[in-house]
Structure 1
Amino acid sequence: MIYIVGVGIAEGQITERAARLIEEAEVVYGSKKAIELAKKHIKGKSIVIKKFDGETYREIENVGKEKNVVVLSTGDPMVSGLGTKIKGVVEPGISSVQLALARLGVDLCEVAIVSAHAREAMEEIKALLRCRGKVIILADSKFDIVRLSRIARKIVVMENLGMKNERIDEKLEIRSDNVIVYAEGGGRLKGLIIVGHGSKLPYYREVMDYHKERIRQMGIFDEVEIAFAAHRRKPTVDEVVKKMESSVIYLVPLFMAYGVHTTEELPEKLGLEFKEGVIEGEFEGKKVILCEPVGKDDFITYAILNRVFSAKSGSDGCK
């Protein structure tokens, strides 16, 4: 008989029933950490699992045909544990997810749980943030916390939960592989791309960067980028749209008037159509809205007049 028993993630978290199963086992398998957590209850032979693979699991199952076997799983066997790897009866334990939610004061029914341990899961996380709003991520030291910050409004990093060196921080830093990340979304993410013609003059790019940074500091958009309409000037609009995380992206041409770029090239490249007074469409799974050029905005009129007044007040020749 085989029991897969959860031993929690810290000392003192083994349940009464789990302790009895461990004490009655002839052979106990587990990681070094799991065996350390359960050592006072182990009466039979203990074997440290060094390779967590199919061959090892089959060997354990064969032993279980003749002996009473317990396989220890840190946390809960059914939360990214050994419960689905080995055939046997599962005895639940206290998982790191439960402890994380207790620290956060968040109900389990409110969150989605994703394993990003040694795997790319950002697209899955992005989708869950949109539909659920709150996500618990089982991560490791290689997890891209900075990239997550572009699509989440709130992030909490929790390391070594239940241990003496427990760390809970909103700082975007991961120091160990024993980490859980909590993220909150906030509706559909919005992005802005300031679109330039494509001049190679350095001060043209400087002007675009200036406006980009000012708008970014206002905090109105989740992402603010610049791109160029001319296909020979990098980055192009389609390249930037592909890289952005936002689900809704506004394109604002820093042009004086409509032209070939705005009426033909960009709509064709991005699959945009004129609908009810707006040029919009879907590109790479994102809604893209092409706004009017800035040329006819009233603020341009005032900007022209302000330049005149500035020149007049600064020139001795003007009365």
Structure 2
Amino acid sequence: MITVIGIGPGNPQFCLVGQEKFYKEADVILGSSRHLEVIADKLQGKGVVAPKKLKDLEELLLTYPETTNLVYLVSGDPLIYGLGKWLTERFPGRIKLVPGISSMQYLASKVCLPMNDAYLTSSHAKEPNFELIMSLSKVFCVTDNKVGPYQIAQEVVKRGLKKTLIIGENLSYDNEKISIMAADQVLDRDYDMNVVVIVDER
């Protein structure tokens, strides 16, 4: 069994209650170096840093017998632009998903913005559907370093739209930064681990 656990936005205090028992029962705990920081010191010996490339990750997982009790730690929630979909497709019948708090949910809570009518998307390793995004009143987007806050803002500006961007960087960490501004005020700079919300100006 491979138990995929969403550890939330990053800070260990946002891990959901009950996850500790999975760590104690696991034979191996996989995740990035940052993810593995959430497990107790006494369990660190079970930790294995997972490769970043999906092909390498798949090869690593296949080296473990199916009887191995594996735990895989992922950011946010496994099924909100996480590895949950990919893992369930690659290892059908072997995956158990444990939800977490997504970075989108965390940012929404910080700025008291309801998500009932929100559209969720991502720009990780792909070109977003900007025509769709710009036609909607509230969009949450997990971004990467190619299509980030500035690039999204420029898509707003070139269409002459009136939209506000809420940019959350390093969410839940000590260096967390949340900025709220009109699209034409977004600077062309590097943004650390971020989520962008695009909303119609009110």
Q: Pairwise CA RMSD of aligned residues?
A: 2.1
**Separation in 2 of the partners of 1:83 and 1:25?**
18
Q: For 1:170-319, what aligned pairs fall within 5 Å after superposition?
A: 170=181, 171-173=185-187, 174-185=189-200
Task: Report if aligned partners of 1:78, 1:84 keep a CA contact under 8 Å in 2.
Answer: yes
Unaligned runs of 5+ in 2: none
Q: Match for 2:172: what amino acid?
A: G
Q: What TM-score results when the alignment is normalised by the length of structure 1?
A: 0.53
**Bigger relative contact order, structure 1 or 2, given CA contacts below 8 A and separation 6+?**
2
**Separation in 2 of the partners of 1:74 and 1:166?**
16
Secondary structure class of the residue paired with 2:38: helix
Task: Report if aligned partners of 2:153, 2:165 keep a CA contact under 8 Å in 1.
Answer: no
Counterpart residue number, 2:6? 6
Unaligned runs of 5+ in 1: 187-319
Q: How far has the Cα of 1:64 moved from its partner?
A: 5.1
1:129 aligned to 2:130? no
Q: For 1:68-107, what aligned pairs fall within 5 Å after superposition?
A: 68-86=69-87, 87=91, 88-107=95-114
**Separation in 2 of the partners of 1:16 and 1:27?**
20
Counterpart residue number, 1:117? 124
Q: How far has the Cα of 1:24 moved from its partner?
A: 1.0
1:11-54 deviations in Å (ceiling 9; x for gaps): 21112222211121010110111111234473652110123313
**Separation in 2 of the partners of 1:104 and 1:50?**
34
Q: Match for 2:174: what amino acid?
A: K
Counterpart residue number, 2:17? 16
Query: How many residues are matched?
Result: 183
Q: Match for 1:99: what amino acid?
A: Y
Task: Report if aligned partners of 2:28, 2:71 keep a CA contact under 8 Å in 1.
Answer: yes
Task: Report if aligned partners of 1:112, 1:135 keep a CA contact under 8 Å in 2.
Answer: yes
Percent identical:
25
Task: Report if aligned partners of 1:28, 1:71 keep a CA contact under 8 Å in 2.
Answer: yes
Task: Report if aligned partners of 1:2, 1:61 keep a CA contact under 8 Å in 2.
Answer: no
Secondary structure class of the residue paired with 1:12: helix
Is the helix fraction higher in 1 or 2? 1
Secondary structure class of the residue paired with 1:180: strand
Pick the structure with greater CA Rg.
Answer: 1
**Separation in 2 of the partners of 1:126 and 1:157?**
20
1:165 aligned to 2:171? no
Task: Report if aligned partners of 1:76, 1:92 keep a CA contact under 8 Å in 2.
Answer: yes
